[in-house]
Structure 1
């Protein structure tokens, strides 16, 4: 039930913020700014220095906010996945599919979202128990690719992590995406220390997603 509960919460979040940063402090400030803007799905990547510590701090900070879902991104192997899970990550995201990572996530009942680009990769991931496929790199495609993959594999749950903007958000969801990942344009102001702007952009995504869900 744990894995299903997390998957349901991720789908409810809809928009997942992919957080990178030059330091743990920068990444944590960005996460707080994003949550203030209404985005409740956080994917803190392992390109962030001291990523495990950052995940643990986020889990502690938002322990009384179950709507906030903290995950680990750019996880390249099973060892890193286990470290992320022990730190408190509720889901694990990789740029490519790795069977051992899938196994360790299944062991702990943690959703694994691997990056896949072809039907062959997606099929292998499904066989390993993957529930959501990260369409990577998403910016190499457009929303119309989602039904093209789902036609032969209607059971696919697809999340594009790139090529998503406020302007095309509705197109991705109408095409059948279960969630989307956003990063570059959302976090750009953080590089200049403008976290208020990050909150404002997050609020725009939140408003747009709410409008989509309300139909």
Structure 2
């Protein structure tokens, strides 16, 4: 199964930003236990390439690892070499799309307006990160005239509202601080809470 097919199947991309590198694998394992199968490591975190390399190697095919906050082609190439299988950006940067696609990676640029989303689609984006995801009704408004777009709303999505975004037409979801608290102490109790919170998100989209 292709990476894009797996993203469209599993839907939830857990975003890890600002976590100390030595803890990311433990967080990934806790989320995996709760049903999460997609993980984004942002490039503005500490030592992200090492983290991508380690988590990709240790999790194998169980979890697909991608790189987030990718702003240029060079970073996309570095992330690919470290094992990233999808590339996310907060903005629409054509050279990042071209580079990711050329490397066989899934390209998910950021866009917001209908014009930006369509431009990203025309330039070859596999999915479009809609950021900030202000409301489910906005996703519904965009998908009405642009039904072919795979939209990935990110920011502000919770277990309580994720179903609304799904029914509005979202193809996937980027979940950051609502899932992973970068400031939390990585204790066994926190890891159990993270597993349970992961289950809550999964149950919400499967209900």
Question: TM over 0.5, yes or no?
Answer: yes
Cα distance change on mapping 1:150 and 1:28 into 2, 3 Å: same
RMSD: 1.5
Distance 2:160 2:14 in 1: 16
Distance 2:116 2:203 in 1: 34
Q: Mark the runs of 5 or more structure 2 residues left unpaired by the alignment.
A: none
Q: Mark the runs of 5 or more structure 1 residues left unpaired by the alignment.
A: none
Q: Retained in 1: the 8 A contact 2:143–2:149?
A: yes
The structure 2 residue matched to 1:196, chosen from 185, 192, 195, is 192
Distance 2:156 2:60 in 1: 31
CA shift digits 1:50-109 (9 cap, x unpaired): 1111111111112242xx211111111111111001111110000001111111111112
CA shift digits 1:12-48 (9 cap, x unpaired): 1111101113421133322222112111111111122
Distance 2:51 2:19 in 1: 13
Please say if 1:177 is aligned against 2:174. Answer: no
Q: Partner of 1:131 in structure 2? A: 126
CA shift digits 1:183-205 (9 cap, x unpaired): 11211276222222111111211
CA shift digits 1:90-142 (9 cap, x unpaired): 1000000111111111111211111101122112211110121100111xx20
Cα distance change on mapping 1:64 and 1:91 into 2, 3 Å: closer
Q: Partner of 2:12 in structure 1? A: 15
Q: Retained in 2: the 8 A contact 1:189–1:198?
A: no
Q: Retained in 1: the 8 A contact 2:156–2:178?
A: no
The structure 2 residue matched to 1:142, chosen from 114, 135, 148, is 135
User: Runs of 4+ in structure 1 displaced over 6 angstroms?
Assistant: none
Cα distance change on mapping 1:201 and 1:119 into 2, 3 Å: same
Q: Which one is further off, 102-111 or 144-153?
A: 144-153
Q: Retained in 2: the 8 A contact 1:113–1:133?
A: yes
How many pairs were matched up?
204
